[in-house]
Every structure is written in C-alpha cells, then in structure tokens.
Amino acid sequence: MIPVLNITDLHKSFGELEVLKGIDLAMHKGDVVSLIGSSGSGKTTLLRCVNLLEEFGRGRIEIAGEPIGYREEGGRRRRLPERQIARQRAMTGMAFQQFNLFPHLSAVKNVMLGLTKTKKLPAEEARAIAESWLDRVGMLARKDHFPGQLSGGQQQRVAIARAIAMAPQLMLFDEVTSALDPELVSEVLAVVRDLGRDGMTMLLVTHEMRFARDVSSRVVFMHQGRIHEEGPPEQIFGAPGTERLKAFLSNSQS
C-alpha cells in the first residue's frame, strides 16, 4: 500500500542553522502520529514543510506517492510552479496554533472559501459541505458568527472544519491548543480525537502529553532536528528508551 505520507532524508536550514537534519517518516492511512519534543527541535518546521509553507533544501516528501514541492529535471531540483504547489497544498489540511481564521468572513464562509475557490464547487454545494462539517465540530449553531465573535476554542473548531472540509488525505495540527485558555482545550481535543476515531490520517505537533498518549498510534520524539526515538505511545511514555526522552518527559509532566 502506498503510504499517505512518506518523508525521506528531509533537510531544512534557516541560513546557517540546520533545523531538520535528515528526517525519515512514513504514515499510512488512519495513522495518528504525534510529534513531541522541546521547542526548537524542528517539529513545527517539519509540519510546515509537509504543507509546503516552508521550502526545503534536500530530501523528498511524497503525499500518496506524489513527490511534492519539487521536481527533478536533468539532475536538477526545481520548485514546482505556483499552481502545482497550490494544488498539492490542498492535499493536506493544516490547523494552526493561532487559528488564522479569516476575520472578514463568517464561520461558514471561512469553511466555504477553499471549496469554492480551490475545488471550484458551486456555492450551494460548498455551503452544504461546510455546514455538515461545522455540525461535526459542534459549531453549526454559530455558522453566521464572525471569528471576532467566537471564543478561541470555537475559532479553532471552525479552523479545523475549514481544513478538513477540503477532504485532505492528511491533516496536520500545529499545537492547536497552545493558544487556548485551559478551560477551552478539551473541546478542541475532543474534536481531534473524534476525527482520529473516524480514520482520519493525522500528524500532530502537541505539548499535551496525556492527549498524545491517548490519541496516537505512534509517537515521534524529536531532538535537535532529528527523530530521536519513536514507537507506540505505551512504549514512548511507559518505557522510554533514551535518557533524552526520559528527561524531556519528566520536564513536561502534565
């Protein structure tokens, strides 16, 4: 079976600073992989490379077998044209730490935008899809509210609906609860957990260790731009194999 996501030997530098030093990661349909690690370990950068929000210097990322972002041409590596990149970005959905809802559009219009612009669906069809996803995240009653009228947790649920309505092959979650007040965290995590149960393939960066343990099929611990240790959650949290992971886990008891 072709992996949904296949990353081989991914390198990424910001100037002199190499933040990803050779990442290999494969995910199959229905996998839920959590990336954990201290800040600066490269988790978020890895996620952003998969969504082509960052360019990367070396290595290969394939979504459902299709190499994304670049093509080889006579031994030279070239960035794909804008249109191709846009199409490939839509193969993955991304939820951001800061939600990034479009403030001038109502909740339902936020979800509809990608459906009408990228997928070129007629407005009624887009609206129906948008409303069914807003219903799934418990936001249908507030579909005509604007982001400024919603709490952080509600905004994040709309943002997740916006990403997932595009029917991506892979959902990326970048610390989706980090900007939320503590009492709003659980409503967002419930939505993510629910999607995982439904078989959505998901790659999450999270600081919620209990949640990572709960929801993941696999946990990847990153340290200084490399995958330091990975395994099923019981093993990573129950019997960490390296000193670094032990130190990290004892520092982030939640």
Partner 1 sequence: MNFEFFLADLWAARANLLAGLWQTVLISAGSVALGTLLGLLVGLGLSYGRLPLRIALRIYTDFLRGTPVFVLILACYYIFSAAGLDLDAFQAGCLALTLFCSSHVGEILRGALNAIPAGQTEAAKSIGLTFGQTFTSVLLPQALRQMLPTWVNTATEIVKASTLLSVIGVVEFLLAVQQVISRTYLSLEFYLFAGLVYFVLNFAIEQAGRAVERRIAIPR
Position among 39, 75, 83, 254 found at the interface with partner 1 (CB under 8 A): 83
Q: Residue 102, interface with partner 1 (CB under 8 A)? A: yes
Position among 59, 146, 190, 213 found at the interface with partner 1 (CB under 8 A): 146
CB of 51 to partner 1, least distance (A): 6
Judged by CB under 8 A, how many residues of this single chain contact partner 1?
A: 32
- 3-class SS of residue 141: helix
* Strand 92-95 to 170-174 pairing: parallel
| One-character DSSP codes across 7-63 | EEEEEEEETTEEEEEEEEEEE-TT-EEEEE--TTSSHHHHHHHHTTSS--SEEEEEE
Q: Residue 188, interface with partner 1 (CB under 8 A)? A: no
Phi–psi pair at 138, nearest 5 degrees: 75, 30
Using N-to-C axis directions, what is the helix angle for 123-136 and 152-164, rounded to 10°? 130
Q: Residue 14, interface with partner 1 (CB under 8 A)? A: no
Cα–Cα distance measured from residue 199 to residue 27, given in angstroms and rounded to the nearest whole number = 13
Q: Residue 148, interface with partner 1 (CB under 8 A)? A: yes
Position among 93, 153, 196, 225 found at the interface with partner 1 (CB under 8 A): 93
Q: Residue 104, interface with partner 1 (CB under 8 A)? A: yes
Tokens representing 135 are 């219903």
CB nearer partner 1, residue 87 or residue 197: 87
Q: Residue 120, interface with partner 1 (CB under 8 A)? A: no
- Applying CB under 8 A, the span of 64-72, 83-91, 226-234, 246-254 interacting with partner 1 comes to 83-91
Cα–Cα distance measured from residue 154 to residue 119, given in angstroms and rounded to the nearest whole number = 25
- 3-class SS of residue 152: helix
Cβ atoms within 10 Å of 193's Cβ, excluding its own: 15
- Applying CB under 8 A, the span of 22-30, 161-169, 207-215, 231-239 interacting with partner 1 comes to 161-169
Position among 6, 41, 45, 92 found at the interface with partner 1 (CB under 8 A): 92
Q: Are 179 and 152 in contact (CB under 8 A)?
A: yes
Position among 64, 80, 90, 249 found at the interface with partner 1 (CB under 8 A): 90
Write out the residues near partner 1 by the rule CB under 8 A: 51-53, 82-83, 86-87, 89-90, 92-94, 96, 98, 100-104, 113-114, 117-119, 145-146, 148-149, 159, 162-163, 166
